């Protein structure tokens, strides 16, 4: 393991690919889908994992960011979808500040995608449909876990799952506090590592009328 004093000496030369305007799609969703599919085909670890950043307000009234890793569960012209507990920290923060940022980091491909926009809940029908596809243990876990709350021990979760199994059996309904969110993109940025730190960065910004402005950013 590297000692903290060695961190400044860590180096990597990024040479896995390139991204220029001639290669990039005119629409950011097309570009994102192409890169996501490539990550899946390349079998990178958890290509569907993304960091979700939200904003909360501390007890001092100052805005404070927080991040966590969630899994993308849907992607279409309406936006990027994930599912979670509405009463979790991220749920409470999104209720107060319905804007967020997502980041995908596919290390093996030397690629990063950043997406920003407003967030809304998906419909109950969408949440019900996805919930029904989850393994039984995961469906029961949604009932058992008071996500982000302080608990005394792991036994609280195990006991909660057992109670949910007794109460709901093999067909638990979706908990009212659990469901999906959709980030409606307003900005995408695609980052491709390049040699000598001269990385490629293309940003797409949503314009009035629904068109997208594509620009190159300095690394």
pTM: predicted TM-score of the whole model, two decimal places: 0.91
Residue 16's alpha-carbon distances to 98, 107, 190, 195, 199, in angstroms, are 36, 10, 15, 9, 11
Contact 114, 102 (CB under 8 A): yes
Report residue 3's pLDDT band, with 50, 70 and 90 as the boundaries: low
Q: How far apart are CA 145 and CA 157, in angstroms?
A: 6
Q: At what angle do helices 154-168 and 136-144 cross, to 10 degrees?
A: 120
Over residues 14-29, the mean pLDDT reads 93
Report residue 11's pLDDT band, with 50, 70 and 90 as the boundaries: confident
In the three-class reduction of DSSP (H, G, I as helix; E, B as strand; rest coil), residue 108 is classed as helix
Strand ranges (E), 32-93:
49-57, 63-71, 74-76, 79-85
Contacts of residue 40, Cβ cutoff 8 Å, sequence gap at least 6: 47, 48
pLDDT at 100: 98
Q: What is the pLDDT of residues 136-193, one digit of tens each?
A: 999 999 998 888 888 889 999 889 889 989 999 899 999 999 999 999 999 999 999 9
pLDDT at 5: 67
pLDDT at 191: 98
Q: What is the pLDDT of residues 46-100, one digit of tens each?
A: 999 999 999 999 889 999 999 999 999 999 999 999 999 999 999 999 999 999 9
Over residues 105-117, the mean pLDDT reads 98
More reliable by pLDDT, 7 or 46: 46
State the DSSP code for 208: T
pLDDT at 128: 98
pLDDT over 90 at 12, yes or no = no
- Residues annotated as part of the active site: 197
Structure-block tokens of residue 162: 């057992």
Half-sphere exposure of 11 (CA within 13 A, CB side): 5
pLDDT at 84: 97
Report residue 4's pLDDT band, with 50, 70 and 90 as the boundaries: low
């Amino acid at each position: 393991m590297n000692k903290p004093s060695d961190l400044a000496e860590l180096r990597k030369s990024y040479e896995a690919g390139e991204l220029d305007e001639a290669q990039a799609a005119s629409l950011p969703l097309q570009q994102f889908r192409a890169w996501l599919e490539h990550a899946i085909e390349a079998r990178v670890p958890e290509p569907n994992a993304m960091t979700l950043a939200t904003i909360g307000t501390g007890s001092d009234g100052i805005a404070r960011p927080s991040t966590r890793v969630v899994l993308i569960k849907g992607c279409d012209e309406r936006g990027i979808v994930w599912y979670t507990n509405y009463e979790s920290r991220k749920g409470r923060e999104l209720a107060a500040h319905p804007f967020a940022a997502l980041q995908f980091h596919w290390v093996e491909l030397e690629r990063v995608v950043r997406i920003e926009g407003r967030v809304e809940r998906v419909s109950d029908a969408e949440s019900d449909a996805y919930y029904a596809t989850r393994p039984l243990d995961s469906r029961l876990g949604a009932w058992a876990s008071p996500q982000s709350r302080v608990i005394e021990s792991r036994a609280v979760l195990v006991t909660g799952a057992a109670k949910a199994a007794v109460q709901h059996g093999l067909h638990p309904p979706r908990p009212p506090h659990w469901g999906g969110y959709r980030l409606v993109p307003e900005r995408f940025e695609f980052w491709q590592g390049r040699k000598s730190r001269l990385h490629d960065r293309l940003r797409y910004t949503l314009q009035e009328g629904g068109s997208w402005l594509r620009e190159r950013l300095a690394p």
